[in-house]
Amino acid sequence: MNSLPKVAEGVSFLILHYGDYRLTEMAVRYLAELDGIEKCNIVIVDNGTNSVAKLENMFRDSILSIIILNLEKNMGFSKGNNYGWRYCRDK
């Protein structure tokens, strides 16, 4: 049996989203299986697709702490991740 790792309290997981809803949902579902995830944040950065409302709708029934951030335009992989990282660092 392959067991998933236990995550430390206060950890934030960052997902950079750019229009692939299926992939974003798969990532959140995987994280939801981790032991201790209920004490963590999942931060999704919408990298210029202006789909925050759709993402919020996708995860509205989740018991997890999911935070969705919006970038008005695509900032690329590095800047999108850095934006999310700064949010996690400063929160």
**Mean pLDDT taken over the chain:** 90
Average pLDDT over residues 16-35: 95
Task: Please say if the pLDDT value at position 1 is more than 50.
Answer: no
What's the confidence (pLDDT) of residue 91?
78
Q: State phi, psi for 75 to the nearest 5 degrees.
A: -100, 5
Residue pLDDT, tens place only, 27-62: 999 999 998 888 899 999 999 998 999 999 999 999
Cα gap 3→9, rounded to integer Å: 19
For residue 6, give the 3-state DSSP assignment.
Answer: strand
- Per-residue confidence at 10, pLDDT binned at 50, 70, 90? confident
Least confident of 11-15, 18-22, 37-41, 79-83: 37-41
Task: Please say if the pLDDT value at position 4 is more than 80.
Answer: no
